[in-house]
Structure 1
Amino acid sequence: MLSDDTRTLHQRLRTAGVLPTLQRMAVAGVLLREPRHMTAEQVLRAARELLPPISRATVYSVLQLFVRRGLLKELPIAGAATVYDSNVAPHHHLYNVDTGEVSDLPSLAVRLDGLPELPAGLTLDEVDVIVRVRQRRPEAAAPA
């Protein structure tokens, strides 16, 4: 008998046109129960706790399938491993360069006053704002 949580994940995958295999359910169990930001390697480690024999290739394949089906977003963080976001609603992010941690920013934390005029034939898909932060470095002492 399936738990309500598992039934909900099954239905969410089916609604997105994804057959809920054991491997896909393991990845869904890691990412889709609550909003999360994880790299593929983090997902792999967590999925192996649920399904030890799951392979790296399978996890990467499932992540790409979930992105194509609108269950996940890939965050474009230059210089970092791809981060997968299970909150697919429009929102912005805070990225800690020192720790690699990604978190959602409150919806009113970032305001855009305008966007560039787009060339003919193009339409705006979405706007991703990633605010990069790092620990403040101690200031060097001034020479005496």
Structure 2
Amino acid sequence: MLKTPDHEQIVERLQAHGIYPTRQRIEVAQIMLSQDQHLSADQVMQQVNRGATSVSKATIYNTLGLFASKGLLREVIVDPSRAFYDSNTCHHHHFFNVDSGTLSDIQPDQLLLGELPALPEGTEVDGVDIIVRIRNRHNPSA
């Protein structure tokens, strides 16, 4: 588990990614960077708003989007209506449990990917994200 960064470390990390450290951005970063985790924008908003301050949903979405665009977080889109923000920006893939709605890491050495298909002319690979959708096995005898 990661050591929870203090206020100064959060500010330095934001600045290192070219992000101006507003109060709301610092609060979101403190939640997201405290450990490797996958949180939705709604989960982040619930945690931020547990404190003495209140941050709007738009601010949370904008902040998470900014963090993802600057490489501080990874946005993982599991379906057209649902995205998670991953504090682990190292290359890895995910399991998405459709029953529980949880996202978990697949370690890089657990999934081998062969050769990619030929790319359309004038394009280059920006990344490869694999999401393995799983569900809980239902035991009919239970």
TM-score by length of 1: 0.88
Work out whether 1:55 is the aligned partner of 2:61: no
Q: Distance in 2 between matches of 1:72 and 1:4?
A: 15
Give the aligned partner of residue 110 of structure 2.
109
Contact 1:26 1:51 in 2 (8 A): no
Partner SS, residue 25 of structure 2: helix
Q: Distance in 2 between matches of 1:40 and 1:139?
A: 36
Contact 2:5 2:30 in 1 (8 A): no
Give the aligned partner of residue 128 of structure 1.
129
Instruction: Work out the percentage of aligned pairs sharing the same amino acid.
Output: 38
Give the aligned partner of residue 5 of structure 1.
6
- List per-residue Cα deviations over 1:81-121 (Å, max 9, x = no partner): 21111111211111111111111111111101111011221
Partner SS, residue 71 of structure 2: coil
Using the TM superposition, give the Cα deviation of residue 49 of structure 1 relative to its aligned residue in structure 2, in angstroms.
2.1
Q: Distance in 2 between matches of 1:20 and 1:13?
A: 6
Task: Name the count of aligned residue pairs.
Answer: 138
Give the aligned partner of residue 21 of structure 1.
22
- List per-residue Cα deviations over 1:29-68 (Å, max 9, x = no partner): 1101221101100000011124532111111111111111
Contact 2:28 2:44 in 1 (8 A): yes
Partner SS, residue 85 of structure 2: strand
Contact 1:39 1:83 in 2 (8 A): yes
Contact 1:90 1:126 in 2 (8 A): no
Contact 2:48 2:54 in 1 (8 A): no
Contact 1:73 1:84 in 2 (8 A): yes
Contact 2:5 2:34 in 1 (8 A): no
Work out whether 1:87 is the aligned partner of 2:88: yes
Greater share of strand residues, 1 or 2?
2
Q: Which amino acid aligns with 1:89?
A: C
Give the aligned partner of residue 77 of structure 2.
76
Give the RMSD, CA atoms, in angstroms. Answer: 1.8
Q: Distance in 2 between matches of 1:78 and 1:51?
A: 33
C-alpha distance 13-51 of structure 1, shift in aligned 2 (>3 A): farther
Q: Distance in 2 between matches of 1:4 and 1:139?
A: 47
Partner SS, residue 20 of structure 1: coil
TM-score by length of 2: 0.89
Unaligned residue ranges in structure 2 (runs of 5+): none
